[in-house]
Amino acid sequence: INLSALDILFTTTTVPKMLSLLLLGDHFLSFPACFLQMYLFHSFSCCEAFILVVMAYDRYVAICHPLHYPVHMTPQTNAALAASAWLAALLLPIPAVVQTSHMAFGSVTRVYHCFCDHLAVVQASCSDKTPQTLMGFCIAMVVSFLPLLLVLLSYAHILASVLRISSREGRSKAFSTCSSHLLVVGTYYSSIAIAYVSYRADLPLDFHIMGNVVYAILTPVLNP
């Protein structure tokens, strides 16, 4: 349910304006709308990363401690974990968005992007870009690599437990339990990798834009 809601919200945040830009040539967006889009885009992106960690923990308990699963993963616990993921994701981007909104911009600012990505808006500012670029990079590292590390740690324990299962049927059942989650994780982090690679300094700006478009659209489309 959480991922389905995220997919709808994620695409609703960026795709309508992207279509308006590409199909109708509508190149204008007010400053408040731009920063709202920036906040929502990064909040939903953070939330998906955190929800994937919660799902990885759920799989870990189900496979590594099956007898304790009904005790540890009660409906109340699941709701609390999901609520924590949403709350953290809604709070984390606020400092970067607020500080970016206080930067100096012209009365009409050209953002070379198809939506209000944080780095693209920072690059369009007349202020010193270094502090905000560094803050955005640090937040991206925390949101991307820390959840990925926790997911990989969970699956390392899951793999060790599966390899101890003697029956072939038991192993297949364990792997089938994780298959849908692994597909979402693979899609999400592949999209992020494409977006990060596109920000290499020696690549044209068009590659930056395409990398983020892939990230914004590919994950919701391919999620099961």
pTM of the full structure: 0.83
Quick one: 77 exposed, middle or buried, by C-beta within 10 A (0-12, 13-18, 19+)? middle
Would you say residue 87 has pLDDT above 90?
yes
Q: Band the pLDDT of 125: cuts 50, 70, 90.
A: confident
In the predicted structure, residue 208 carries a pLDDT above the cut 70: no
For the packed helices 94-101 and 130-163, what is the interaxial angle rounded to 10 degrees?
160
For the chain, give the mean pLDDT: 81
Structure tokens at 96: 């970067």
- Map out the domains of the chain with their CATH numbers: 2-222 (1.20.1070.10)
Is the pLDDT at 170 greater than 80? The verdict is no
What confidence tens digit (pLDDT) does each residue in 25-66 have?
A: 667 778 888 888 889 988 988 898 899 999 899 989 988 888
Q: Which residues contact 38 (CB under 8 A, 6 or more apart)?
A: 93, 97, 100, 116, 117, 118, 121
Find the helix or strand (DSSP H, E) in which 216 lies. helix 205-222
